[in-house]
Amino acid sequence: MNTPFFIAKRYLVAKKSHNLINIITWISIVSISVAAFALIVVLSAFNGIENVVATLNNRLAPDLLIASEKGKTIDLKAFPLDDLASIDGVSFAFPSLTEDALFRANDKQHIGQVKGIAPDYERLTRFQEASFDGEPLSLIDSEHAFAIPGSGVAWYLGINAYDPYAMLRVYVPKRGVASTMNLENSFNSDVLSVGGVFSTQQEMDEQLVLVPFEWLSGLLEYDDKATDVEIFLKSKSDLRKVKRAVSSRLGDGYTIKDQREQQETLYKIMRSEKWAVYIILTFILILATFNVIGSLSMLMIEKRKDSATLSALGADRRFRFRLFMDEGLLIALAGGLVGLILGVIVVLLQQQFGFVKFGSSGNYIVEAYPVMLKLKDVLLILATILAVGGVSAWLTVRHALKRETSLDAQEG
């Protein structure tokens, strides 16, 4: 039986002779509970926001993006595209072209990127979910090719997605021609009808225009070349396993990036913000443990007679140190568990029912504030509480016992 822990547990629940100690103990538990509650709710909110952003980005981002390390383009004649498409878990493997471009419409202009995609691209569920306005998205029919600008590009250029006569002119740099002030000499250009407007994530919406691959290949004067190869996986496929298989078949000379690596800067920023908030709330937790220090100090003063009795029964200094250390940890653990349990309940309710909403006014991507509970966050917060509570208890008990020993020596 762990005698120090048993006595510490009795001290925690037993009524003290001075009611002030009880009050400070409960204040300590409540303050730690509030800090733990805030930590789990805020971290879950960041997880929810990251999940929403990832979902929006992934609507047009491939599961794996292949690019050449040696140059800007990939020679499709020498590239094993069909071989990659046959890998277990791969649903589609498409070549794509991406180039900086100037867009003009309605006497307005905007600089962004034009992306040429294969006709089968429209079969992707995530592509269909990107539809925002206009007719059902289509890049090509039996007679004409169409452009699909992002909603931000359409807004800058004053394009109405429902206008059947809406046109978009695309300018791309000519290959091997030095830049001059004459657009006709420095750029290739062509006009496309607008077949709809897509909307995913703001930065992409303000930059990207989708066009047919063959049309852009002709405009760029690329013959059997692509800037990237995009791979889309089947549902529930093992991304790491497929990535290894793709890497082994391609060999050296190519970079292979998953969705997070394609948006590495964005995810780093979101993670940095999350950890910055975690550090700030941990400082609040540290401030809350000052109540634990006060409660523990007063309890040790009150229990001096008990300590003397334990010493007479053979309990050494280490025994008393463990006793009050356990007392401090129990206070921190009690507050942490209460706060975590309440926080987990609130997060799960919000995740399931979405009680906290953004409001009726405004065009929001999601109706309710997004949250996502992660077990590793719960364990991290619990470990933080125990670490902060343990350090504060260790310092308090160590100092108090030293002072007690010094006083006993002076009295002796």
Q: List per-residue pLDDT tens for the chain, 412 residues long.
A: 566 666 666 666 666 555 666 777 788 888 899 999 999 999 999 999 888 877 777 777 888 999 998 888 899 988 999 899 899 999 889 899 999 999 999 899 999 999 998 888 877 877 766 655 655 455 655 567 889 898 899 999 999 878 888 899 999 988 765 555 565 677 889 999 888 888 877 788 899 999 999 999 999 988 889 999 999 998 888 989 999 999 999 888 899 998 888 888 878 888 898 889 999 999 988 888 887 777 777 776 666 666 666 666 666 667 777 777 787 888 888 889 999 999 999 999 998 888 888 766 556 667 788 899 999 999 999 999 999 888 888 888 787 767 665 555 555 5
User: What per-residue confidence (pLDDT) applies to 115?
Assistant: 93
Residue showing tokens 């409960």: 26
Question: Of 145, 195, 142, 135, which Cα lies nearest the Cα of 165?
Answer: 195
User: What per-residue confidence (pLDDT) applies to 340?
Assistant: 94
Residues 6+ apart with CB under 8 A from 57: 200, 201, 204, 259, 263, 266
CA distance 28 to 93: 58
Residues 6+ apart with CB under 8 A from 385: 32, 35, 36, 285, 332, 333, 335, 336
pTM of the model: 0.74
Is residue 150 within 8 Å of 205, Cβ to Cβ? Answer: yes
Is residue 59 within 8 Å of 130, Cβ to Cβ? Answer: yes
Q: β-pairing, 208-212 with 108-117? A: parallel
Residue showing tokens 């002779």: 17
CA distance 29 to 88: 54
